[in-house]
Amino acid sequence: MANALLRVENLVRTFGGIKATDNLSLDVKPGELHAIIGPNGAGKTTLISQLTGQLMPNSGAIHFAGRDVTWLPSHQRSRLGLARSFQISSLLPDFTAADNVAVAAQAHEGHSFRFWSAARKERHLREAAQAGLTQVGLVKRADVLVSELSHGEQRELELAVALATKPQLLLLDEPMAGLGVTESARMVALLKELRKEVTILLVEHDMEAVFALADRITVLVYGRVIASGDPEAIRNDEEVKRAYLGDQHVMVSHGGIQNG
């Protein structure tokens, strides 16, 4: 536990009378891909928002890279190496794909109080953008405005933007959301490559993807952790099966096929 990259302790967040995060503890080790699953309304996005600092918890603590970041605003957490992708693509629509990545690379370099020379002509920022886009397979679309990219391309660009800040930990909030079958397969392949370079905390609905990718899985129900362990243990966990009553069959069979 001591060497965990991210450690969440007894996190609580309520909305009115509802406990969206209920005494939640969790740790992510360096180098692993840790997945969080749970039925709709389990509090997955609420958790992500607290991890990134968009939402503050009522109590509990979040440690990242050995620092207590519980009350840090999101821009400071980003500086420490915590990057995220958004469930609903959150990009700069009237910038090109390359500009989106270049701005993230620029933000990573330190302050942006430079008022005179043209940022789009800074070669190393353009190179960083090219590299980032190449990594996610978007390099041919570099000069296309984000508003004209397809949904799938925007999901990939989200990753490139997050990676451009050179994170230690990548929080991915449902990167497959809204993707078709082939796009999903591409995303899984992409994440398989990325996990070699960066620690990932993945929140995802797509069970097939989760069981194909994750080293460890944590299952949330009503804001509580009901199970945590490797994919095999989760698949056989009785409480998880009960929680996923409707999805149980799908989960077990798909997982089996994937891993078989």
Partner 1 sequence: MNSTINARNVVVALTALGLLLLPVYSGLTGDIFILTLFTRIIIFALAAASLNLIMGYGGMMSFGHAAYLGIGGYAVGILAHEGVGSGFIQWPVAVIVSALYALVIGALSLRTRGVYFIMITLAFAQMAYYIASGLSRYGGDDGLTIDKRSNFGGIIDLSNRVQFYYLCLACLFGGIYLIWRIVNSRFGMVVQGLRANEQRMQAIGIHANYYKLICFVISGTICGLAGALLANNTDFISPATMYWTRSGDLMVMVIAGGMGSLFGPVIGTIVFLVLEELLSQFTEYWALIMGPLLVLIVLFARGGLMGVLGRLSRG
Give the contact letters, 5-44, x = binds to partner 1 (CB under 8 A), - = no: ----------------------------------------
Is 155 in contact with 191 (CB distance < 8 Å)?
Answer: no
Among 79, 140, 151, 249, binds partner 1 (CB under 8 A): 79
- Could you give the CA distance from residue 77 to residue 184 in angstroms, rounded to a whole number? 29
Nearer residue to partner 1 within complex by CB, 111 or 181: 111
Give the contact letters, 91-120, x = binds to partner 1 (CB under 8 A), - = no: xxxxx---x--xxx-xxx---xxxxxxxxx
Is 47 one of the binding residues for partner 1 (CB under 8 A)? no
- Could you give the CA distance from residue 246 to residue 260 in angstroms, rounded to a whole number? 23
> How many residues line the site for partner 1 (CB under 8 A)?
38
Is 145 one of the binding residues for partner 1 (CB under 8 A)? no
Helix (H, G, I), strand (E, B) or coil at 156: helix
Instruction: Tell me how far apart the terminal alpha carbons of the chain are, to the nearest angstrom.
Output: 31
CB of 166 to partner 1, least distance (A): 10
Nearer residue to partner 1 within complex by CB, 114 or 249: 114
Enumerate residues 6+ apart whose C-beta is below 8 A from 206: 176, 184
Give the contact letters, 213-232, x = binds to partner 1 (CB under 8 A), - = no: --------------------
To 10 degrees, what angle do helices 151-164 and 97-108 make?
20
Give the number of other CB atoms < 10 A from CB of residue 232. 12
Task: Show contacts with partner 1 in window 163-192 (CB under 8 A).
Answer: 164-165
Which of 161-169, 176-184, 188-196, 246-254 is the region at the interface with partner 1 (rule: CB under 8 A)? Answer: 161-169
Using CB atoms within 10 Å of the CB of residue 121, give its burial: 0 to 12 exposed, 13 to 18 middle, 19+ buried.
exposed
CB of 31 to partner 1, least distance (A): 23
Nearer residue to partner 1 within complex by CB, 35 or 102: 102
Is 205 in contact with 174 (CB distance < 8 Å)?
Answer: yes
- Tokens linked to 254: 């798909």
CB of 117 to partner 1, least distance (A): 6
Helix (H, G, I), strand (E, B) or coil at 97: helix
Task: Show contacts with partner 1 in window 49-68 (CB under 8 A).
Answer: 52, 54
Is 38 in contact with 221 (CB distance < 8 Å)?
Answer: yes
Is 83 one of the binding residues for partner 1 (CB under 8 A)? yes
- Could you give the CA distance from residue 211 to residue 217 in angstroms, rounded to a whole number? 8
The contact set with partner 1 (CB under 8 A) reads 52, 54, 73-76, 78-79, 83-84, 86, 90-95, 99, 102-104, 106-108, 112-120, 122, 161-162, 164-165
